Structure 1
Amino acid sequence: MSDVSQREGAKREGKMSSLSRQQIGTVLAKQGILIAFVIFIVAFTIANPKFLSPDNLLSVVRSSAIIGVMALGVTFVVISGNLDLSVGSMMSFSTIVVLDLHDKIGPLLAIPTMFAMTLCLGAVIGFLVGYLKLNSLIVTLGMLSAIHGLTLTYSGGKNMDIADKEGTWFGFFGQGDILGIPVPILLFIALAAGLGMTLSRTPFGRKVYAVGGNGTAATFSGIPRARTVFYCYLISAACVATAGLIQASRSLGSQNTVGQGLELEVLAAVILGGASLLGGSGTIFKTVIGVLILGFIQNGLLLMGLQFYAQFVVTWIIIILAVWLDIAAKRGKLWSSFA
């Protein structure tokens, strides 16, 4: 009788152990990035006490605003089940255009003109992906090169600078502050609040989730799939134009490759925020968290003495980790069985 009781007890313990491992795996799959972020924060603070100083925190958020603004728009694209790898070169284009037009027609006309030109590029991508149903990876990868060439052609291969940097109000968007808060941070917060409401509280937001979750079912339900994707790329282009405005206003001059490679950081921030590459999931709030995670990790690495180019390796590792956790969250476990 005692042997039977021992065997039953052993079975119960085995089931409880298996259940606890499964629960731990589920928690790690869903919250692993946040747990890793906390570990990074603790490690960086121990390595350099200045990491959590108010000045450093404000500096990190301010420097992350450009990536953050672009990531807000890309969130719509990713939730709709597509990708946008053209945001880096598009940001270079918008920055160069607004700087060039500033001296030719004045900032009051240069800003809306730049926005209109950038939206036209987004409309081209939206038409190709949404209405012609071309693969978004191929289209935006091609547009990355095309827009880069367009930027070089427009600028004649030269960098752009504002002639009269002291006599213009244009620097307000990148250098100004309101009540002690830098304007780039306020723009980031305002866009995040507006787009967050659009995504979570409007019929259009529900259409974006439906198209990304199951495009065929959405079409049969009467949702205009092509138009929804088209508008997502327009939103992404508008966010890129805003980021270009901040970048141009910050330095009142720019290289014609200023946005090169930023598409990787933007995509990393969106994925870190929990948006699935398969579409149908993600939120603006979590994207903001992803932007901050990426910004604080990069800042912590610099304070620890690592060279800036080490950030590229870390960004790659973070992307791989985020994609792995995203897939793990969907299958309910961290590891898959080998065939």
Structure 2
Amino acid sequence: MSGLTKQNIGSFLARQGILVAFALFMIGFTLANGRFLDPDNVMGVVRSSAILGVMALGVTFVVISGNLDLSVGSMMSFSTIVVLDLHDKIGPTLAIPAMFALTLCLGALIGFLVGYLKLNSLIVTLGMLSAIHGLTLTWSGGKNMDIADKEATWFGIFGQGEIIGIPVPILIFALLASVLGLILAKTPFGRKVYAVGGNGTAATFSGIRRARVVFSCYLMSSFCVATAGLIQASRSMGSQNTVGQGLELEVLAAVILGGASLLGGSGTIFKTVIGVLILGFIQNGLLLVGLQFYVQYVVTWVIIILAVWLDIAAKRGKLWSPIA
């Protein structure tokens, strides 16, 4: 009975350990600072997490399909700079679709290299991280971007507006999560994504066009990144050309925290949303207890290691490897 109990506890911690850790974090932060669960603070955390969350929704499809996307941070910088630059040149009505088109082209290129040429997704997206960063600097001439007349444009609605008292970034995040959640859980395409990530060879032999599915996942990811870039540009009405630098690790951490496996074949949009909120509240709590912002980088690293360990442990049903 003792052995069975230990095994059950180990299995539970392997699958739900991150939620237990999150609960302990929430209790600790609430005791340390009474403002932590203040409604205004909670709304602020969700709003500030919307950009990261929108990016994480697309990356969820990529990870479930058995691949990685480390280019999303640089791609977000690119989309933000492009839409700000084009705003003053051709107006927001044309700038927004032009930015989406250019960002989707980058996603299509990655999808082609990984899906059809079957190159390693880690190598491809790591290379694209640098390439897109260089493209962003080239587009901007190494300068930051600002909208010339911030008062005379409706562009700010995406990042600063509210509808019935709810910030527009939160509404965009919720709408995208709902639509993509339905696509992943209720459509044939969603089942194909799981099949490709679970066993790509078997999926191919069953008639699934694996390359097309992977290509579509990267297109979906780039669409979400472009949406995040739009929100970021609209919120600040200006941006540094490195605004997305480092976000790729936070996005990946949020997706893994939500239960998506790096091995592919598992994960849901709903759990990704939970992972995004976990990361957001932990970072907010660290600031409220007086820790400097750069401590977040260390905590994010610890969270990634913990999440990967729990992911692997969940696959084998034990926290520790049976091999010494």
Q: TM-score, normalised by structure 1?
A: 0.95
The Cα offsets for residues 182-206 of structure 1, whole Å up to 9 and x where unpaired, read as: 0000000000000000000000000
Task: Measure, in 1, the Cα distance between the counterparts of 2:225 and 2:16.
Answer: 29
Q: Which runs of 5+ in 2 are unaligned?
A: none
Q: 1:74 aligns with which of 59, 71, 90?
A: 59
Report whether the alignment pairs 1:222 with 2:207: yes
The Cα offsets for residues 263-303 of structure 1, whole Å up to 9 and x where unpaired, read as: 00000000000000000000000000000000000000000
TM-superposed CA distance for 1:47, in Å, is 0.1
Task: Measure, in 2, the Cα distance between the counterparts of 1:264 and 1:150.
Answer: 21
The residue correspondences of 1:187-198 to structure 2 (distance < 5 A) are: 187-198=172-183
* Corresponding residue for residue 185 of structure 2: 200
Report whether the alignment pairs 1:234 with 2:199: no
SS at match of 2:151: coil
The residue correspondences of 1:127-276 to structure 2 (distance < 5 A) are: 127-276=112-261
Task: Measure, in 1, the Cα distance between the counterparts of 2:50 and 2:13.
Answer: 28
Counterpart of 2:237 in structure 1: which amino acid? L
Task: Measure, in 1, the Cα distance between the counterparts of 2:134 and 2:284.
Answer: 32
Report whether the alignment pairs 1:24 with 2:22: no
* Corresponding residue for residue 89 of structure 2: 104
SS at match of 1:245: helix
TM-superposed CA distance for 1:337, in Å, is 3.0
TM-superposed CA distance for 1:234, in Å, is 0.1
Task: Measure, in 1, the Cα distance between the counterparts of 2:175 and 2:288.
Answer: 30
SS at match of 2:262: coil
Identity, in percent, stands at: 84
The Cα offsets for residues 46-73 of structure 1, whole Å up to 9 and x where unpaired, read as: 0000000000000000000000000000
Task: Measure, in 2, the Cα distance between the counterparts of 1:231 and 1:22.
Answer: 40
Q: 1:305 aligns with which of 290, 297, 312?
A: 290
Which aligned segments of 4 or more residues in structure 1 are displaced greater than 6 angstroms? none
* Corresponding residue for residue 263 of structure 2: 278
* Corresponding residue for residue 312 of structure 2: 327
- Which protein has the larger Cα radius of gyration, Structure 1 or Structure 2? 1
Task: Measure, in 2, the Cα distance between the counterparts of 1:262 and 1:329.
Answer: 26
* Corresponding residue for residue 288 of structure 1: 273
Report the RMSD for the aligned CA atoms in angstroms.
0.4
The residue correspondences of 1:89-100 to structure 2 (distance < 5 A) are: 89-100=74-85
Task: Measure, in 2, the Cα distance between the counterparts of 1:221 and 1:337.
Answer: 34
TM-superposed CA distance for 1:336, in Å, is 1.0
* Corresponding residue for residue 102 of structure 2: 117
Task: Measure, in 2, the Cα distance between the counterparts of 1:205 and 1:332.
Answer: 26
Task: Measure, in 2, the Cα distance between the counterparts of 1:33 and 1:177.
Answer: 33
Task: Measure, in 1, the Cα distance between the counterparts of 2:317 and 2:247.
Answer: 32
Counterpart of 2:268 in structure 1: which amino acid? T
Task: Measure, in 1, the Cα distance between the counterparts of 2:318 and 2:147.
Answer: 54
